[in-house]
Amino acid sequence: MVAIVEIAGIQHKVTPAEKIFVPRLAQETGSTVAFDRVLLVSDDNGVKVGTPTLSGVTVQAKILGHAKDDTVIVFKKKRRKGYRVKRGHRQQYTQIEITQIG
């Protein structure tokens, strides 16, 4: 079974027991979360496509933990002016495991 679900404005292709990183969610580690913006579901019976979403279909997931991405350095410079700015950014993610589609 495969589903395309929208999580925090980003579409993910998920299968049961799959672990993925999504933009940081407010829930705590170990809690379960349900996503109801399911755009497509494919199983043995066929493919169901939503217009734009499927009603009555949810994707259940368990939150495994929170993590940060690698540092992205943002460096700005204007030549001959003595202007230099160096900043770093670390995007925050949540790792979830898909438990159930349906």
pLDDT tens string 62-98: 999 999 999 999 999 999 999 999 999 999 999 999 9
Query: Are the C-beta atoms of 64 and 97 separated by less than 8 Å?
Result: yes
The two structure tokens encoding residue 1: 């079974």
Q: How far apart are the C-alpha atoms of 78 and 84, rounded to whole Å?
A: 7
80-88: Cβ within 8 A, 24+ apart: none
Distance between the two ends of the chain, CA-based, in angstroms? 10
Q: In angstroms, rounded to a whole number, what is the distance separating the alpha carbons of residues 31 and 23?
A: 16
Tens digit of each residue's pLDDT (9 = 90 or more) over 38-69: 999 999 999 999 999 999 999 999 999 999 99
